[in-house]
Amino acid sequence: MVHRPALPYDTTDATSPHGLGPHHVQLAIPPGSEELCRRFYVDVLGMTESQKPPVLATRGGLWLRADRLEIHLGVEETSGRRARPTPASSSRIWTGWRTG
Contact 73, 27 (CB under 8 A): yes
Confidence (pTM): 0.62
CATH class of the domain whose range is 25-78+87-99: alpha beta
The pLDDT tens digits of the residues spanning 54-64 come to: 999 999 999 99
Is the model more confident about 56 or about 94? 56
Chain-wide mean pLDDT for the chain?
77
Rounded CA separation 95/34 (Å): 16
Q: Alpha helices of the chain — where are they, by DSSP H?
A: 34-38, 54-57, 87-90, 92-99
The gap from C-alpha 91 to its chain's centroid, in whole angstroms, comes to 13
Residue ranges of domains in the chain = 25-78+87-99
The pLDDT tens digits of the residues spanning 1-33 come to: 666 677 776 666 666 666 666 778 899 999 999
Q: What is the pLDDT of residue 90?
A: 39
Above 70 in pLDDT, residue 87?
no
Give the CA angle between residues 17, 6, 9 to the nearest 5°: 100
Least confidently predicted of 14-18, 45-49, 82-86? 82-86
